[in-house]
């Protein structure tokens, strides 16, 4: 079955630690995205990548970093510089081209930082 | 500033009671409007794409329509399994790049 996997589902970290969230897709999609979802807010774009070895900042990139070394993988690192890291993180992918609204989402990772 | 506003924030229906969800937008260079369904603790699931005013799409009990300023998601004779948060997103072309803006969603509860 084709799809997007994110791991882990729940993640707990202490303040000051960097943490990496995994995202893998086997849909053969070129574009991948990371969003953050907070209660009462719409999805906000953190980073996106349209091709391997290239990525762009979204609306709230500060305190986050990404890499895109393989087409299938787009890990997100939440650094200690992110002031409010506790949130639900969603990874998505879409077919080639510019930002596409028809995106396929993973199940999400809920990160709690204390 | 591009905006996408969904209303109501929450809606409770009885099973079989039809209703509509609204998504109004103020963007320039609209490329498309998208509806998603999101169950609690899960990622959104793509439902529909609408590209131009007058367009309609249907899937089971759901029908999405688009005008120049808003979209409606009509739910006919809903069932409890239709309970979810419905998200609207608008894709616009601005300043040489594409942008996707999500609304905050409408939480639908259908009681048996």
Q: What single string gives the DSSP state of each residue in chain A?
A: ---EEEE-SEEEE-TT--EEEEEEE-S--SEEEEEEE-TTS--EEEEEEEETTEEEE-TT-TTEEE--SBTTB--EEE-TT-S---EEEEEEEE-SSS--S--EE---EEEEE-
More confident residue, A108 or A99: A108
The four Cα atoms A93, A99, A103, A108 give a dihedral, to 10 degrees, of 60
The span from the CA of A23 to the CA of A92, in Å, is 9
A-chain CB neighbours of B100 within 8 Å are 45, 99, 101, 103
- With bands split at pLDDT 50, 70 and 90, how would you rate the model's confidence at A37? very high
- With bands split at pLDDT 50, 70 and 90, how would you rate the model's confidence at A90? very high
- With bands split at pLDDT 50, 70 and 90, how would you rate the model's confidence at A1? low
Confidence at residue A97, expressed as pLDDT on a 0 to 100 scale: 66
Residue of chain A whose Cα is closest to the Cα of B88: A42
Q: Does A102 touch chain B (CB under 8 A)?
A: yes
pLDDT higher than 80, residue A26:
yes
Q: State the 10-residue block means of pLDDT for chain B, 112 residues long.
A: 89 98 89 95 95 94 96 98 97 77 96 96
- With bands split at pLDDT 50, 70 and 90, how would you rate the model's confidence at A72? very high
Quote the mean pLDDT of chain A: 92
Subunit contact B98:A107, Cβ cutoff 8 A:
no
Confidence at residue B27, expressed as pLDDT on a 0 to 100 scale: 81
């Amino acid at each position: 079955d084709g799809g997007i996997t994110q791991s882990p589902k729940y993640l707990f970290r202490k303040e000051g630690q960097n943490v990496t969230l995994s995202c893998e897709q086997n849909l053969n999609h070129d574009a991948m995205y990371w969003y953050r979802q907070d209660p009462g807010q719409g999805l906000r774009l953190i980073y996106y990548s349209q091709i391997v070895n290239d990525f762009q900042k979204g609306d709230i990139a500060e305190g986050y970093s990404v890499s895109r070394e393989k087409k299938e993988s787009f890990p997100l690192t939440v650094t200690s510089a992110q002031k409010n890291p506790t949130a639900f993180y969603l990874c998505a992918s879409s077919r080639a081209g510019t930002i596409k609204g028809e995106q396929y989402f993973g199940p999400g990772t809920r990160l709690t930082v204390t | 500033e591009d905006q996408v506003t969904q209303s109501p924030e929450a809606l409770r229906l009885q099973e079989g009671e039809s209703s509509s969800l609204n998504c109004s937008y103020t963007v320039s260079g609209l490329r498309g409007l998208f509806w998603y369904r999101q169950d609690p603790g899960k990622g959104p699931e793509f439902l529909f794409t609408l590209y131009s005013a007058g367009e309609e799409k249907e899937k089971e009990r759901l029908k999405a329509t688009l005008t120049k300023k808003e979209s409606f998601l009509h739910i006919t004779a809903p069932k409890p399994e239709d309970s979810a948060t419905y998200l609207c997103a608008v894709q616009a072309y601005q300043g040489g790049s594409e942008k996707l803006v999500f609304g905050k969603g409408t939480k639908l509860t259908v009681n048996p």
